[in-house]
Structure 1
């Protein structure tokens, strides 16, 4: 127990004392896995959710890092049951994987046969699966890919998607870094987008999402469809 800025509660609520000298460091440390719910003047409220923990795992953070962060900044003893829950929840990520097989096409694979058996018995998942290939593998129809990922997420077994997509037409693209270069976080965002062949990048306004998109295009070296929300954004891409 220390005089930290964070109060960790058993209901997965995190209370951050903004007036504490370590509040900024703590806020940055918990940002990858905790979701901000309320931010009044003195105490900010965060919450640990399964989705937030799985997103952190997908970004390369493991349960040990999350637990160490909570222990480091917590003002009081962290409930042991919460630590066990974090480890169990994050341990579920990656037990199932979507991959592309040269013979069977899209497949769902797990090195834990019991987990695969559990999801195959689930009423919301079973109709989305094809034939059982072996103890660790089951076929998946390509049209059910998104629906299956959503169903597995709701079931509590998020699947890592390594199946990728059909390659687009080759097109030589490069970044013209004349007097500028990508910031480190932009480079990491572009690399993270490509983890497993696809991804999502979320950045605040003004952080350079367009540049991250351009970097992803340069990595793809293929014709790219760019969808924008308005004409202003379209002109930004043109310029």
Structure 2
């Protein structure tokens, strides 16, 4: 039952305040929140007041939302694996990965590719992975991190407590952030 244990860790409610804090660090940037579990993504869409794009979203609606994101009308999009391939969103400067397909290195590389493209105005892109500590979620993240380090990406691990605002309790999560 590793799949179920991973799902429980990957969709932990304690990730929500961490996700919010990460997004707050980039108020003026175009942000993607990326995950694998549709119920989690639906909850995030409601909590963040952001549209959700998933497999059941019609092509017409996807294109409308992508276009609104490209023009800046929408600042945050919550997307499932449908965004891993075949979309071009160079405006995305921030991606927050909240869950993935176990330790899939290909998926991580695809998601990084969504944001780590040169920005026309020279802005820096940021890719975050929010991970539940001491779980399969963190084991799989370490596996992906090793692969990306081999590809030349640098990581900084930030404890959720370091992102917390006054009085916030963030739970046992940490954030994996590629360094500059």
Instruction: Tell whether the structures are fold-level matches, with TM greater than 0.5.
Output: no
* TM score, norm. by length of structure 1: 0.25
Q: Which has the higher contact order (CA 8 A, sep 6+)?
A: 2
* TM score, norm. by length of structure 2: 0.30
Name which one, 1 or 2, has greater alpha-carbon Rg: 1
